[in-house]
């Protein structure tokens, strides 16, 4: 390991502590120091199996379709780690080329470039749609498929697997997956969106990777409970703003914070539409729930401050203080007497959450 400048403000790429040592291979390749700094030889050795993937392969320059760092939601890619004021120990890793979905499979208008064409100017951004029985049946089917895809991904999560391999196993199309290997003690969120028969189904869960510390276990469980408590109040006549009050109260009781930058949303033939459902207290969401509405609730709960930052890929949101965050999400249908969780766990869903065990 090479030693950096005495007054280094860099953080260890593995643990986040102040770092003065630098990966010699990264120095040789003149890669940005931000992702190559380590506090000790032990941290460097422990991180090597995943860190070495940031080193471009000898033929990388001749392989424009090869593994590269993602920028601007995938519209730009780079052979080098972008310069950025990273928070915490997590760093981006190169991603593979975009997977091809067969032409015979119907796709939403945002599938190729991530940019919706109809959605921004739809009147469903201003009014909450009441779904017809036929639309509801299509959504039930689509959400069931989304659940099955998420469960398939959950079954293969373990130390040593990459998020790209998880993506390949389930053919997800929402998140940016890379070749960083999951490590023992990680927590990982998998977010699935399925488009089928003209409608969307959306859900996500946060999973443990190997042996996880108690603070992370508490964070993930509390986030799960926040979603469950919010779902419990969903019924006709409830104000959308009440969802945030319920979630914020439960998270605060555990000393955790609620992200304010992202919210639940209406869903159906459009991926995102009215209503917007904030997850924090004292929000100004308008409207009340009515039978036939479909929307998501998807709280992000942080171990530290609620503030977030966006990586140079313009997609990955991370905590401003580098501490951990967890999220859970369901797509819901408001019924005459309550709600139906369209993306609910199935009897066949993997047994991954200890608090659900009998």
Residue 272 labelled as part of a binding site: yes
- Beta bridge partners of residue 329, listed in sequence order: 204
Instruction: Say if residue 137 carries a ligand binding annotation.
Output: no
Tell me, rounded to whole angstroms, the distance of Cα 12 from its chain centroid.
23
pLDDT, position 56: 61
356 part of a folded domain = no
pLDDT at 5: 42
Residue 175, pLDDT score: 47
In a domain, 88, yes or no: no
- The CATH code of the domain that includes 264 is 3.90.230.10
- The dihedral sign for the CA sequence 196, 198, 201, 202: positive
Q: What is the reported pLDDT for 174?
A: 46
Within-domain flag for 69:
no
Are 168 and 276 within one domain? yes
Q: Give CA–CA dist 270/207, Å, rounded.
A: 28
Is residue 253, in this structure, part of any structural domain at all?
Answer: yes
Q: Is the same domain home to 42 and 189? A: no
Give the contacts of 34 (CB within 8 A, at least 6 positions apart).
Answer: 10, 81, 83, 84, 85, 86, 91
Per-residue DSSP letter, 11: B
Q: Is residue 174 part of a domain?
A: yes
Q: Do 177 and 250 belong to one domain? A: yes
Amino acid 59: pLDDT:
45
Are 32 and 139 contained in the same domain?
Answer: no
Quick check: is 43 in a domain?
A: yes
Q: Is residue 275 reached through a cis peptide bond, with omega within 30 degrees of 0 on the bond before it?
A: yes
Domain coverage including residue 47? 21-52
Q: How far apart are CA 155 and CA 170, in angstroms?
A: 11
Domain match, 317 and 193 both: yes
Query: How far is Cα 105 from Cα 69, in angstroms, rounded to an integer?
Result: 28
How confident is the model at residue 61, as a pLDDT?
41
Say if 114 falls within a structural domain. yes
Residue 78 lies inside a defined structural domain of this protein? no
User: What angle (nearest 5°) sits at the alpha carbon of residue 274, between those of residues 271 and 279?
Assistant: 95
Distance in angstroms (rounded) separating the CA atoms of residues 216 and 220: 6
What pLDDT is recorded for position 1?
53
Average pLDDT across each block of 10 residues of the chain; the chain has 358 residues. List them in order: 52 81 80 78 80 60 61 81 88 83 90 89 97 98 97 95 83 59 95 96 98 97 98 98 98 98 98 98 97 98 97 92 97 98 97 92
Say yes or no: 195 and 289 in one domain: yes
Q: Are residues 148 and 288 in the same domain?
A: yes
Is 321 within any annotated ligand binding site? no
Can you point out the beta strands (E) in the chain? Answer: 2-3, 21-22, 37-38, 69-71, 76-78, 187-196, 199-208, 257-258, 264-266, 273-277, 294-297, 300-302, 308-310, 317-319, 325-327, 330-334, 339-341
Ligand-binding site membership of 202 (annotated): yes
Total count of domains within the chain:
2
Cβ(107)–Cβ(193) below 8 Å: no
Place of tokens 């760092």: 69
How far is Cα of residue 229 from the mean position of the Cα atoms in its chain? 21
Q: Are residues 161 and 25 in the same domain?
A: no
Say whether both 207 and 303 belong to one domain. Answer: yes
108 in the same domain as 48: no
How many angstroms from the chain centroid is the CA of residue 141? Answer: 23
Handedness of CA 264, 86, 88, 161 (dihedral sign): positive
pTM of the model: 0.82
Residues 328 and 223: beta-carbon distance below 8 Å? yes
Same domain, 170 and 42: no
Residues whose CB is less than 8 angstroms from the CB of residue 164 and which lie 6 or more positions away in sequence, other chains included: 95, 96, 177, 178, 179
pLDDT of residue 9: 66
What pLDDT is attached to residue 63? 37
- Which of 52, 73, 96 terminates a domain? The answer is 52
pLDDT at 307: 97
Strands (E), 20-61: 21-22, 37-38
Say yes or no: 139 and 33 in one domain: no
């Amino acid at each position: 390991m090479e030693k950096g400048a005495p007054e280094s403000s860099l953080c260890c790429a593995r643990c986040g502590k102040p770092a003065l040592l630098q990966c010699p291979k990264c120095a040789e390749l003149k890669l940005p120091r931000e992702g190559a700094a380590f506090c000790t030889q032990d941290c460097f050795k422990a991180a090597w199996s995943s860190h070495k993937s940031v080193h471009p392969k000898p033929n990388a320059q001749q392989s424009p379709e090869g593994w590269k760092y993602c920028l601007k939601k995938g519209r730009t890619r780079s052979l080098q780690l972008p310069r950025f004021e990273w928070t915490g120990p997590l760093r981006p890793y190169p991603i593979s080329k975009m997977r091809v979905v067969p032409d015979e499979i119907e796709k939403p208008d945002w599938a190729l470039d991530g940019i919706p064409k109809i959605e921004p100017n739809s009147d469903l951004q201003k009014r909450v749609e009441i779904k017809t029985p036929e639309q509801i049946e299509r959504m039930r089917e689509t959400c069931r498929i989304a659940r099955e895809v998420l469960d398939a991904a959950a079954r293969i999560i373990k130390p040593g697997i990459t998020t790209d391999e998880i993506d390949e196993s389930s053919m997800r199309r929402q998140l940016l997956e890379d070749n960083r290997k999951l490590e023992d003690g990680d927590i990982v969120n998998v977010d699935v969106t399925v488009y089928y028969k003209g409608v969307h189904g959306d859900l996500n869960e946060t999973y443990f990777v190997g042996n996880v510390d108690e603070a992370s276990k508490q964070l993930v469980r509390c986030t799960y409970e926040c979603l469950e408590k919010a779902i419990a109040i969903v019924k006709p006549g409830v104000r959308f703003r009440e969802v945030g009050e319920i979630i914020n109260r439960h998270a605060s009781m555990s000393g955790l914070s609620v992200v304010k930058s992202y919210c639940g949303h209406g869903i159906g033939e459009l991926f995102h539409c009215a209503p917007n459902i904030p997850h924090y207290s004292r929000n100004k969401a308008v409207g009340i729930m009515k039978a036939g509405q479909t929307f998501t609730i998807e709280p992000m709960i942080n171990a530290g401050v609620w503030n977030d930052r966006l990586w140079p890929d313009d997609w990955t949101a991370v905590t401003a203080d580098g501490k951990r965050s967890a999220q859970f999400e369901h797509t819901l249908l408001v019924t005459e007497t309550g709600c139906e969780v369209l993306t609910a766990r199935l009897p066949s869903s993997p047994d991954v959450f200890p608090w659900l065990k009998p």
